[in-house]
Structure 1
């Protein structure tokens, strides 16, 4: 059994792409319960769908790590599909395959799955479905939403306090609800802190294209931005290269990028979206079902959401950020979810 698990996990993404290109259909990569995990959960099969690379050092990898944590700590069996584009016509058959192959719980990671899961879930009433960072619900469908927008608001506060030029940037890829809410929150944090600061905001259409993100970052820097908040996946490296070349500071998201490159990253809007994946599985093991409706996880849980800062951030700036964090966590400050301002294009 252990050898079978190892063999399954050695299947490469290249083999997956080759099989898909050759018309063989989607290949589900499998995982097995850890020998040290809880035996009571060994019969629970969880399927995960990741519309992107599970090694993107960002959103998709965080979700996959949440699934891996569930496998090793909770003792469930896992299967997953990754490496596909976030298009409904591809997501629907992938979700269908996971359900047909026996997953009692199917987790689609990311709000780009909202429509696809809402279509597939009614076809499998005996299967539970969860969308992380989602906005959908139903009789066998719920969403777990780690509130990235709350740490994005704090990123806006810090950007407005640390810019020297009075111009800050925002970069993202596809226009999915979490990204749109994150942009709205960042813009509000900037505006509430210093309304004289100008915001340049761009959705390029691709989370993973480094050449594209390099060009967008270059254009924003040329327009005066000296702090840029990036909500990207594998395409973050291009923006980072542009920032390093021009000595511009960047604010990352999802993980703590200040621990990766403190010279470039002045802060990071930490939002461990993998917690949504893990919590959904944990709820399934405890209650035989995920929580119903839309489950929100925000700044009240610092392990899930917070702003991390580099060592050179002044104490006064940290204090202002903490003040805003307390106001959000207490409910005194409501983070906006919509942005109606100008867009930056190249």
Structure 2
């Protein structure tokens, strides 16, 4: 290929090297872009921590790219606003489901591993006990992940109580710590946090309260003993899928779920009993066969401190 198309990936956060600082979601994106270095494209990465500047940054990327990748559902509105003005540029949104003639969504189904995480939470806590969920911005993929966790919890423990809320910022450790401390004070004994740069605060708050944690995006169980499990959804696979589809001239939506275990799975800490792991394996098979449907919406009450 004489001309290497330019790919500009926009990540919504601040650059860094520590996944606790930049967030597992963005860390997975960075790792994927490094893996894509041998592909016949020129890759540039832009970081945008300011939500008010997302559309401006997407527009700047489109002015010099043939493929723009907005990494995360936070980019949906910006891409929807910018893409019509650049009809010759392809726009990919990871974890996105917006449509347009030059827009495609590439998604790892966090809600499927979150459903298994919710079931684990339900079987782990006492009947009628309390579990918690926390995320930052209530963007569509985050809402779907929360819905999956809530459904799994109800499936395993129909009388369980769920404290679920969005604190407003994925990347603020102090804010995350305050919310989780309040969830513990309200009776939660286990927390499922879908966070990025705020993860360190979540870990510290769970340790302080004696709560077990369930992580997401990457496998946290080998890194911190506070984690009972992790609802893995490696969004880097979505970036790779977007670039591959663009190069193959088959630019269309793709969704990747539990059938691709390197992308979507539930990992367990060593103290999860084998019998419980077996039940979770059976539940995974039921999801894959269609015997169990993972919902994308939740009608429960939002919780805040």
Q: What TM-score do the two structures reach when normalised by structure 2?
A: 0.94
Indicate conservation of the 8 Å contact 2:48/2:54, yes or no: no
Give the structure 2 partner of residue 202 of structure 1. Answer: 165
Q: Where do 1:109-188 residues align within 5 Å?
A: 109-164=71-126, 166-188=129-151
User: Cα 1:204–1:196, aligned 2, differ >3 Å: closer, same or farther?
Assistant: same
Could you tell me how far apart the structure 2 residues matched to 1:223 and 1:230 are?
A: 16
Indicate conservation of the 8 Å contact 1:128/1:289, yes or no: no
Give the structure 2 partner of residue 301 of structure 1. Answer: 260
Higher relative contact order (CA 8 A, sep 6+): 2
The alignment partner of 2:178 has SS state of helix
Could you tell me how far apart the structure 1 residues matched to 2:229 and 2:38 are?
A: 30
Give the structure 2 partner of residue 33 of structure 1. Answer: none
Give the structure 1 partner of residue 45 of structure 2. Answer: 80
Give the structure 1 partner of residue 156 of structure 2. Answer: 193
**How far 1:288 moved relative to its partner?**
3.0
Matched, 1:51 2:17: no
Give the structure 2 partner of residue 230 of structure 1. Answer: 193
Give the structure 1 partner of residue 184 of structure 2. Answer: 221
Q: RMSD of aligned C-alpha atoms?
A: 1.5
Could you tell me how far apart the structure 2 residues matched to 1:74 and 1:151 are?
A: 29
Deviating runs (4+, > 4 A) in structure 1? Answer: none
Could you tell me how far apart the structure 2 residues matched to 1:316 and 1:221 are?
A: 28
Could you tell me how far apart the structure 2 residues matched to 1:41 and 1:169 are?
A: 53
Q: Where do 1:23-38 residues align within 5 Å?
A: none
Give the structure 2 partner of residue 94 of structure 1. Answer: 57
Q: Gaps spanning 5+ residues in structure 1: where?
A: 1-39
The alignment partner of 1:259 has SS state of coil
User: Cα 1:305–1:54, aligned 2, differ >3 Å: closer, same or farther?
Assistant: farther
Could you tell me how far apart the structure 2 residues matched to 1:118 and 1:196 are?
A: 41
User: Cα 1:236–1:61, aligned 2, differ >3 Å: closer, same or farther?
Assistant: same
| CA deviation string 1:126-176 (max 9, x = no partner) | 111111100112111111111000000001000011114811110111010
Matched, 1:61 2:27: yes
Could you tell me how far apart the structure 2 residues matched to 1:50 and 1:256 are?
A: 21
Indicate conservation of the 8 Å contact 2:23/2:171, yes or no: no
**How far 1:58 moved relative to its partner?**
1.1
**How far 1:97 moved relative to its partner?**
1.1
Indicate conservation of the 8 Å contact 2:23/2:198, yes or no: no
**How far 1:84 moved relative to its partner?**
2.3
| CA deviation string 1:206-232 (max 9, x = no partner) | 111111111111111111111100000
Could you tell me how far apart the structure 1 residues matched to 2:155 and 2:2 are?
A: 48
Number of matched pairs: 299
Give the structure 1 partner of residue 304 of structure 2. Answer: 345
**How far 1:120 moved relative to its partner?**
1.1
**How far 1:289 moved relative to its partner?**
4.7
Of the structure 1 ranges 240-249 and 271-280, higher mean CA displacement relative to structure 2 is found in 240-249
Give the structure 2 partner of residue 18 of structure 1. Answer: none
**How far 1:92 moved relative to its partner?**
1.5
Indicate conservation of the 8 Å contact 1:57/1:233, yes or no: yes
Q: Gaps spanning 5+ residues in structure 2: where?
A: 17-21
